[in-house]
A and B are shown apart, each in its own frame.
Chain A
Amino acid sequence: MINKKVNNVQEALKGVKDKMTFMLGGFGLCGIPENAISELVKLNVRDVTCISNNAGVDDFGLGLLLQNKQIKKMISSYVGENDEFERQMLSGELEVELTPQGTLAEKCRAAQAGFPAFYTPAGYGTEVAEGKETREFDGKMYVLEPAFKADFAFVKAWKGDAAGNLVFKGTSRNFNPNMCGAATITVAEVEELVEVGELDPNNIHIPGIFVQRIFEGKDYEKRIEQRTVRQRS
């Protein structure tokens, strides 16, 4: 067993610097690497590029880095929940690359899987395709999209072990597995770090080879963005 375990978030984020590109898992506030984000705020790294489907809300998730003006460029598919984001973008302080959600996921997966680029129909004929190579296959037009390149991927899983194996829960899985192994260093934080051998090899979502560092996170808030319920009749 190759040991990927580090003792804490400080050790896990060793080597993080200004101007780096980070991938961060999560959909809305669901499945975000809360511990890594808090530490990035503490480290106060500046001018970073963040690849993440959303940009958090004003006072949680990536919104914390935005408030602190640490982000130079954001690559996301949907940013509607964050007023500070919209303000920084419309004023030109923040560079933004809006990317279709499926393309965003596939640009991560392509980096993980060793594909330099891929063709997708998403965005053809829209401003997303401007300046990009297009090509026809079987009568339909496609846009060439390159794989992402990133220095660190910060992902969050439900359970993991020292070998770096990961298991996700519910829809907090989202972009997290696609980002594993898609950056130079993948840092996984887990709610529960279990003994090696405890996870069933049949039910591992991400094999440890895609993970360089793993640690057990602390104090997860797991904030719900839209608490929606029905009445008991």
Chain B
Amino acid sequence: MLDKNGIAKRIAQEVQDGFYVNLGIGIPTLVANYVREDIEVEFQSENGVLGMGPFPFEGDEDADIINAGKQTITTMPGASFFDSATSFSMIRGKHVDLTILGAMEVAENGDIANWKIPGKMVKGMGGAMDLVASAENIIVAMMHSNKHGESKILKQCSLPLTGVGCVTKVVTNLAVLEVKDNAFHLLERAPGVSVEEIKSATEGTLVVNGEIPEMNI
């Protein structure tokens, strides 16, 4: 079974040379730590920066340079700053190659819910609805089950939706799943996790074809 860093490590393998990548808050932010060093990638943060770099050294923080999680950051050579409308032109206009974000629930038809628990938690969707409505390459980083042990990989989302039919791949602490033809197709198992364990943790339709390899991370 993977921890959050393990999930990030596996997702980092999906990042290709020349990609512009938008990373959501939480596990997705960790992906930047594991991207191969021999490829060129630029990270976009929807609050208005392309070419995001690592966190600053202590004493170098600048209140005017933050990421979408409101964390202080640095920029890489070749970086640029822009306004919010331009930032979402990059996203809506499909200029960003890969979007990685977290979720509370994902359904077998590609629906995603990650912004609201009615009556309990309403933080807002931020940029998530814009991202999932336009991006063609969306990877969801999440735990397979919630803290009560209930599956988050569902037939149908129960929470208010963020977007419909948009998720293409899910990487959890247990598995890599491809979302297509109204089902989750099991591509890889996390180290030490059996197909049976993944089956029992998945509420949605799970398609298992042949021998399922273990992740190589």
Q: Please give the residue numbers on chain A whose beta carbons come within 8 Å of chain B beta carbons, in ascending order.
A: 27-31, 53, 76-81, 86, 89-90, 96, 98, 100-106, 108-109, 120-128, 158, 168-178, 205, 222-232
Contact = CB atoms under 8 A, between A and B. Distances in A.
Given A173-B81, A178-B85, A230-B56, A30 B64 contact: yes
A106 B216 CA distance: 42
B84 A169 contact: no
Given A100-B127, A224-B61, A230-B56, A126 B161 contact: yes
B111 to A, nearest CB: 8
B130 to A, nearest CB: 3
A28 B129 contact: no
A222 B72 CA distance: 12
> Across chains A and B, which 4 residue pairs bring their CB atoms closest together, nearest first?
A102-B88, A80-B123, A102-B130, A125-B164
Given A27-B68, A77-B125, A96-B122, 12 more contacts: A30-B64, A76-B124, A100-B128, A103-B130, A105-B88, A124-B163, A171-B48, A175-B84, A178-B83, A224-B61, A228-B73, A230-B57
B108 interface: no
Contacts of B85: 102, 105-106, 108-109, 177-178
Contacts of B122: 79, 86, 89-90, 96, 98
B123 A78 contact: yes
Given A224-B63, A225-B70, A228-B72, A27 B125 contact: no
